[in-house]
Copies of this chain bind each other. A is one copy, B any other.
Amino acid sequence: MSTQLAADAVAVPFHETYAAVQQFYARQMHLFDTGAGPEWSETFTVDGTMELPNLPEPVRGRGALALIPPRAAAAAADAGETHRHWHGMVDVEPRPDGALDVRCYSLVFATRPDTGPRLHLVCVCRDVLVREGVALLVRSRRVTRDDLR
């Protein structure tokens, strides 16, 4: 990232950044919940990574990331469930270079027509977000699950 871009990023007032991060997660996780793999993968940088507790190593790059939402949607459909990812308690810490360290709590709700909704997972999500132009992108994501601690 050029020095100019970094300087621009740092100059964004905190409250603008905070709203942008919330909006970003709302859009991003809805893409995930609808199984929109390619669109969801484009919310990561080209070489973005995601670490999940049930995977042996991080998933790296949009091509690999794009496979995750359709797989998750198919698994939910097989179980007769609709899944909803819910980020909240968003803690944003801007770095001097304009990147953002974000930690949030993350819930997954699962609903079946016959049995109603249930709380499926409680997770903590730690992201490094970066700006490309006006867009926020995930450079790295690390998700931990409270049931696997």
Q: Which residues of A are in contact with B by a Cβ distance under 8 Å?
A: 13-16, 18-20, 22-23, 25-27, 29-30, 82, 84-92, 103-105, 107, 109, 111-113, 116-122, 146-149
A82/B149 in contact, CB under 8 A: yes
A119/B112 in contact, CB under 8 A: no
B82/A23 in contact, CB under 8 A: no
Residues of B contacting A111 in the complex (Cβ-Cβ under 8 angstroms): 122, 146-147
A91 to chain B, nearest CB (A): 4
B117/A119 in contact, CB under 8 A: yes
- Determine how many copies of this chain the complex contains: 3
Residues of B contacting A90 in the complex (Cβ-Cβ under 8 angstroms): 22-23, 26
Complex CA–CA separation, A14 to B26 (angstroms) = 15
A117/B120 in contact, CB under 8 A: yes
Residue of B nearest to A15 (CB): B19
Residue of B nearest to A118 (CB): B119
Residues of B contacting A113 in the complex (Cβ-Cβ under 8 angstroms): 147-149
Residue of B nearest to A107 (CB): B109
B146/A117 in contact, CB under 8 A: yes
Complex CA–CA separation, A120 to B86 (angstroms) = 16
Complex CA–CA separation, A25 to B89 (angstroms) = 7
B19/A112 in contact, CB under 8 A: no
Besides A14-B19, A23-B90, A117-B122, 18 other A-B contacts (C-beta < 8 A): A15-B16, A15-B19, A18-B23, A22-B90, A23-B91, A23-B92, A26-B89, A26-B90, A26-B91, A30-B89, A30-B91, A82-B122, A84-B105, A85-B89, A109-B122, A111-B147, A112-B147, A116-B121
